[in-house]
Structure 1
């Protein structure tokens, strides 16, 4: 999960970073609304956490610009402004959630995870693909109930693929997700990570989870819900491997 934090209060930002990173989030921090807007246009984030009081503009204007630019990243507003009018204005401009300061760190993490799940069409933190299950809350991957021990980068690659199930993820997107544009290694490193990830999954009994699309990237395929038939998309075929909500 990749999060952009927009807050010019160093102490508050440090608290937020600690809370999110402890839950496995990849976090980037900027202090101005303009920086946030430019980064959100350029990169794909799973969530944006933003204070309303910024040095160059207010958070309302940033939300307005993002939504007018058709940038749909889920936005959670953090603010000391607790009056109802502040919340109503934020929601009317396109914010997805509003958390008043001071806040509990665990609640912040839970709200962001919920935002990301909803934006991906998921109702739970666990996503399964055949025998493989990924839990975004605990950052664990299991195959047939047995834990697969992945490195941090291997987990993030699999998480990105599962969240974008059915879509091809380019190698450049993986680099962006893992390194955020900072000190990025050669793009061939993604092939190395995926090779090691595939080997670990295969050893656990889940081969062929990740498919290579030559010249374009990698993909994991959609499939019907296997544990909750009522969640099966209308017209979906039964059987086969695929993404399911647990």
Structure 2
């Protein structure tokens, strides 16, 4: 998940960044309100943590302008202003939550996760898709009630796909999610990660494929359809008795195989 922190106190901003990064979030920070407003309008984030008392414009004005241009990114106000009127004003303008300073680390992280879950349509920390169970708090994945061992990158990709189930996500979105714009590798590395993740899921789930390739656009997570003759470019062949070796290889399957081999060789 990707978070933007708009906070002018360098110590607080650094502490927030380190805290979020240690929990697997990608975190960008800015100390200037106008810069934060511009960044939030042009880049996609899962959450904005917003201070109210900034050197140029206050957080209320930033929030007001974002909502005026239909930026719906969830906003958590984190401020030293603790009066009830300040909280009512912030929530009324469009904030999703309000937390006062000084804050407890565990409470902040719990609120961050809860806001993001709700914004994606999930009411609790566990997402179940078919035979897959993803615990967003524990960062674990179970396939048929058995723990599935994934690397950090593989889990991050599956988590993002699960939270946005049914939506096609581009490779650029995955790169931003994994690397946050810092020293990003080429797009083909995403093909490698997805290929490995897909294989682990298929091995654990009797060959079922949950991650579909949308050629030229990216990847999407869906529950596999029973008796679907074409899933992710792989045509399910009819196998006669005594012959368990499928002989059908579609163009899409050949194309993906070539692309992944090239990525491994790079």
> Normalised by the shorter chain, which TM-score bucket?
0.7 to 0.9
The worse-fitting range, judged by mean Cα deviation, of 100-109 and 212-221 is 212-221
Match of 2:117 in 1: 117
Question: Structure 1 pair 55/76, CA: closer, same or farther in 2 (3 Å)?
Answer: same
> When the two structures are aligned, how many residues end up with a matched partner?
227
The worse-fitting range, judged by mean Cα deviation, of 20-29 and 98-107 is 20-29
- Please say if residues 19 and 106 of structure 1, whose CA atoms lie closer than 8 Å, have aligned partners that are also in contact: no
Match of 1:70 in 2: 70
Match of 1:149 in 2: 149
- Please tell me whether Structure 1 or Structure 2 has the larger radius of gyration of its CA atoms: 2
Match of 1:244 in 2: none
Match of 2:45 in 1: 45
| TM-score, structure 2 as length reference | 0.80
Match of 2:133 in 1: 133
How far has the Cα of 1:190 moved from its partner?
Answer: 0.9
Distance 1:152 1:59 in 2: 34
Distance 2:165 2:39 in 1: 24
- Please say if residues 140 and 147 of structure 1, whose CA atoms lie closer than 8 Å, have aligned partners that are also in contact: yes
The worse-fitting range, judged by mean Cα deviation, of 55-64 and 147-156 is 147-156
Distance 2:223 2:51 in 1: 36
How far has the Cα of 1:222 moved from its partner?
Answer: 6.2
Aligned-residue RMSD, C-alpha: 2.1
Match of 1:107 in 2: 107
Match of 2:213 in 1: 212
Match of 2:55 in 1: 55
How far has the Cα of 1:140 moved from its partner?
Answer: 1.2
How far has the Cα of 1:216 moved from its partner?
Answer: 1.2
Distance 2:114 2:175 in 1: 25
Q: Comparing both chains, which one has the higher relative contact order based on Cα–Cα distances under 8 Å and sequence gaps of 6 or more?
A: 1
Match of 1:229 in 2: none
Cα deviation digits, residues 164-215 of structure 1 (max 9, x gap): 1111111121112222222221111111110111122222226301011111
| TM-score, structure 1 as length reference | 0.86
Structure 2 spans left out of the alignment, 5+ residues: 228-266
